[in-house]
Amino acid sequence: MTAVWSVALITFKEGIKNRVIFGIFIIALLLFAATTVVITLFMRDIVKVAVDLSLSTVSFAGLLTLLFIGVNLFGKDLDKRTIYMVISRPISRSEYLVGKFLGIVILALTVVVFLGLISAVPVILSKRFYYYPEARFDWTIYFIAVIYIFIKLAVVSAVITLFASFTSNSFIALVLSLVVYFIGQSTESVRLLLTSQVERIEVSPVLSYMVDIAYYIFPNISAFDLKTQAAHGLSISPSYILWTMLYAVFYIVIALSIGALAFRRREFP
Amino acid sequence: MVVIAFDNVTKDYKTGFRKKKTALKDFSLDIREGEVFGFLGPNGAGKSTAIKILLNLIFPTAGKAEILGRDVGEKEIRRSVGYLPENPYFYDYLNPTELLHFAGKTSGMDSFTIKEKTEILLNTVGLWNERKRAIRSYSKGMVQRVGLALALIHDPKIVILDEPMTGLDPIGRRQVIDLILKLKSEGKTVFFSSHILEDIERVCDRIGILVNGVLRRVIDFKNEQLIKSLEDTFIEEVDKTGGLQQ
Amino acid sequence: MQRSLAIAIFVISFAIIASIFAIPRVSLERDKLHQKEGIGLVMPSQVAQIIALEFKGLFADAVFSRAMTYYGGKLIRGEKTTEEEWDWIYRNMDTATDLDPYFLDPYYFGATNLAWGTNKVKEANLLLEKAFKYRDWDWTIPFYLGFNYFYFLQDNEKAAFYLMESAKRGTSSSLIPILAARLAYQGKRTENAIIFLQEIIRKTDDEAIKKAYETRLNALKGILFLERAAAVYQERFKKQPGNLDDLTAKNVIREIPKDPYGGKFYIDKDGSIKTTSELR
């Protein structure tokens, strides 16, 4: 256990001291500032627009962190051989992999917590600006949405870890992870689209089947997107929370297990 | 007592569709406790390969290797091993204090001991004043010294150094030699590779000459008096194999 | 050393000053270009939903804003919005509400502008019906729907239904249920319209739209006045007035009210009061 935690700790430290993080934070802060201006362009649903922008910024910053720093944390080890100093300690390949995953997840958590709290500011300002009587907003739901942004990032981290475990090149890992992210965001919509079009046009059964398979294999990341709920104060049922959390946990465990298996026979010549 | 044992280790690499390169062929070697063993050979001879097999960084195609009687695949055995890779890289944004803390923790040390030993080690390698500076700003020689500290922080019984003199100026090389001698006086086993012959002559009890993946000769300085100089001996062994494999 | 530094400073200063002149002109030229372009394509709703990934809400905001800004630009320049442009605007509102079906602004814009501006009541109602389904807590949606059915489509039954829904959802106005009940009866159309309009004016913030409603309200008040006068005439003289001048001639009323739309009120063959402007 100490081994996993030690690896997680230096991974996190290396990530947080990366200059790129600073840039990401600046971008996020600029976007928050822009939110306060953009909302003036709208008519009534001001708070909804502010929430859209705030949460999208947090999510975007988190994704940038994972794709530029998270992947790079693996990349350094695999491309630039910093892995020697880690793997030559008395730790197993699996402990290394899980430790790295954990370090990246903690990095994502830091970003989400920090930016998530700041993201409340433009929303508070928007409420002061104009809050029409039929508007609905609830801070609990807002922060649940923020937590779910973190859960989504944790799942993507697991995907990155999985790809890092068997690709030789951090660029390939980056591209593959991005592809999985895009597919993961779309499988639900595409599936819905196909079932709704079935009445209107001929949908090839092969296509339907493939879309279904994709839905099961790729992580359904859109399930963790609660921005609409936060924007309109729509309630989220406890059973939704339970099942989506379990789904996330299971998916992460599966991804890490496959990664660990692939990694056991990995050599570092 | 044998602390390191290579038993008919062969390592092949796939280089093309059906081609392969043999980095080590039927390599067998025993290293005894407390000795300083120098591993000699031209570039590409397979020295690093043999060392990396010991560290479980790569796996033998055939044969096995053991440290302290246990297979090198067991992670626990690395508590007793200190390793300095050739061309070491460390996490850029961290400083040696953080790296040493990591190294100590994973080797099972407690924080207090780590702090103590960090101070001693960093002073020994002359990096105490830079201990809070990130590795990014270090020169090659300084990075090498950090590597040495990382290899020694947990007081390992066996110290494995892969080309430890690379990138060091004569003062630095002298320091490494003194360090090896010091380790020897503490009863540690040192296994290192190099191609700087005079350093090897100075510190080693025994040396092994590796050419094209084959261990050509093992020389025990206690028992054997070389007729020719080490340099000539070395070149002779290389010539015997028909020159270097390009 | 000195010379190359001086040259560098000179070149940079020149470039900066030239840019400062160029930028507003570029802006102007871009505007001209956009005006000629007119409207672009509307991204089909399903495509938008997939492309937007997790940013559907933001995408909806952008789509809505684009259409709004275009429309706003036309208003400022005093240009009339063509049928094609209205269609484009509607389809953008549709896409925006497909991306975020709870988003009020497109619905609000549809309710206030689509129905009035161009007689695209059907489309306005399609939008509002989507809102009715999703914004199930919002009493204003069925209220707008009720108004549209009553006022533009003359479907009192549907109007009453929606007004009752509005009351069910909890409205601050106590008149809504009463109005719903009144609509159940076929008669008194003008009176009901006046009550409805007064309610809607109360809920409207936009000054321009308010004025439009108030103009209509004044016209309807004029019509109601004349309707009552015609009823009094009928009672007194046991027959309908032939034309409106009969009312002033027989001293039922002092003068005929003016139509704020510039037309002239007249009494139709079936006895109903109309105006040549048709309230437009």
Sign of the torsion angle spanned by Cα atoms A257, A258, A260, A265:
positive
Q: Name B217's bridge partners.
A: B209
Helix (H) or strand (E) holding A70: none
Query: Which residue's structure tokens are 């940013």?
Result: C55
Q: How far does C214 lie from chain A, in Å, by closest CA?
A: 21
Q: Could you tell me the residue ranges of all domains in chain B?
A: 2-90+156-240
> What's chain A's average pLDDT?
92
- Mark the ranges of chain C whose per-residue pLDDT is less than 70: 1, 35-38, 117-118, 171-174, 177-178, 181-188, 279-280
Burial C46-62, CB ≥16 within 10 A → b, else e = bebbbebbbbbbbbbbb
The CA distances from residue A181 to A175, A249, B151, C42, C59, in Å, are: 10, 17, 40, 26, 18
**Paired tokens of C127:** 């939008």
Instruction: Work out how many domains chain C is built from and give that number.
Output: 2
> C267 near C222, Cβ under 8 Å?
no
Q: How far apart are CA B118 and CA B149, in angstroms?
A: 8
Domain edge (last residue) among C94, C118, C135: C135
> A227 near A152, Cβ under 8 Å?
no
Look at residue C181 in the predicted model and tell me its pLDDT.
Answer: 66
The CA distances from residue A184 to A59, A190, A218, A220, A255, in Å, are: 15, 11, 6, 5, 14
DSSP string, B147-212: HHHHHHTT--SEEEEESTTTT--HHHHHHHHHHHHHHHHTT-EEEEEES-HHHHHHH-SEEEEEET
Residue B139's SS3 state is: coil
Look at residue C198 in the predicted model and tell me its pLDDT.
Answer: 84
Look at residue C280 in the predicted model and tell me its pLDDT.
Answer: 63
Look at residue C173 in the predicted model and tell me its pLDDT.
Answer: 65
Look at residue A145 in the predicted model and tell me its pLDDT.
Answer: 97
Residue B225's SS3 state is: coil
Look at residue C176 in the predicted model and tell me its pLDDT.
Answer: 72
The three-state (H, E, C) secondary structure of chain C, written as one string: CHHHHHHHHHHHHHHHHHHHHHHHHHHHHHHHHHHHHCCCCCCCHHHHHHHCCCCHHHHHHHHHHHHHHHHHHHHHHCCCCCHHHHHHHHHHHHHHHHHCCCCHHHHHHHHHHHHHHHCCHHHHHHHHHHHHHHCCCCCHHHHHHHHHHHHCCCCHHHHHHHHHHHHHCCCCCCHHHHHHHHHCCCCCHHHHHHHHHHHHHHHCCCHHHHHHHHHHHHHHHHHHHHHHHHHHHHHHHCCCCCCCHHHHHCCCCCCCCCCCCCCCEEECCCCCEEECCCCC
A100-159 residues touching C, CB cutoff 8 A: 132-136
Helix (H) or strand (E) holding A145: helix A139-166
Query: Does residue C113 belong to any structural domain of this protein?
Result: yes
Question: What's the rounded mean pLDDT across residues A25-31?
Answer: 95
Query: Which residue's structure tokens are 């905001």?
Result: C61
Query: Does residue C67 belong to any structural domain of this protein?
Result: yes
Query: Does residue C121 belong to any structural domain of this protein?
Result: yes
Is C100 within 8 Å of chain A by CB?
Answer: yes
Look at residue B245 in the predicted model and tell me its pLDDT.
Answer: 54
* pLDDT digit string, tens, across residues A147-156: 999 999 999 9
Please give the DSSP secondary-structure letter assigned to residue A67: I
Look at residue C118 in the predicted model and tell me its pLDDT.
Answer: 65
Contact C68 A186 (CB under 8 A): no
Q: How far apart are CA C157 and CA C149, in angstroms?
A: 9
Look at residue B212 in the predicted model and tell me its pLDDT.
Answer: 87
CB neighbours (10 Å) of residue C214? Answer: 15
Contact B89 A17 (CB under 8 A): no
> B204 near B219, Cβ under 8 Å?
no
- Mark the ranges of chain B whose per-residue pLDDT is less than 70: 227, 242-246
Look at residue B166 in the predicted model and tell me its pLDDT.
Answer: 80
**Residue B72 phi/psi, 5° resolution?**
-65, -15
CB neighbours (10 Å) of residue C2? Answer: 6
Is A81 within 8 Å of chain B by CB?
Answer: yes
Query: Does residue C96 belong to any structural domain of this protein?
Result: yes
Sign of the torsion angle spanned by Cα atoms C270, C272, C274, C278:
negative
* pLDDT digit string, tens, across residues B188-241: 999 999 878 888 888 999 999 888 888 888 888 877 777 677 777 788 788 777
Which residue would you say has higher pLDDT here, A114 or A132? Answer: A114
Contacts of C108 in chain A (CB under 8 A): 43-44
Interchain touch B–C (≥3 Cβ pairs closer than 8 Å) = no
Helix (H) or strand (E) holding B121: helix B111-124
Pick the CATH number of B2-90+156-240 from 3.40.50.620, 3.60.15.10, 3.40.50.300, 1.20.1250.20: 3.40.50.300
Query: Does residue C213 belong to any structural domain of this protein?
Result: no
**Paired tokens of C163:** 């007004």
Q: Which residues contact A191 (CB under 8 A, 6 or more apart)?
A: A211, A212, A215
Look at residue A178 in the predicted model and tell me its pLDDT.
Answer: 95
A221-250 residues touching C, CB cutoff 8 A: 221-222, 225, 227-228, 231-232, 234
Is A216 within 8 Å of chain B by CB?
Answer: no
pTM of the model: 0.84
Look at residue C174 in the predicted model and tell me its pLDDT.
Answer: 66
What's the burial of B229, exposed, middle or buried (CB within 10 Å: 0-12/13-18/19+)? exposed
What chains are in contact with B, requiring at least 3 Cβ pairs below 8 Å?
A
Give the range of the structural domain holding residue C77, as residue numbers without chain letter: 32-135
Query: Does residue C50 belong to any structural domain of this protein?
Result: yes
Look at residue C186 in the predicted model and tell me its pLDDT.
Answer: 56
> Shortest CB distance from A182 goes to which of C53, C57, C139?
C53
Is C162 within 8 Å of chain A by CB?
Answer: no
Contact B88 A84 (CB under 8 A): yes
What chains are in contact with C, requiring at least 3 Cβ pairs below 8 Å?
A
Q: How far apart are CA C107 and CA C105, in angstroms?
A: 5
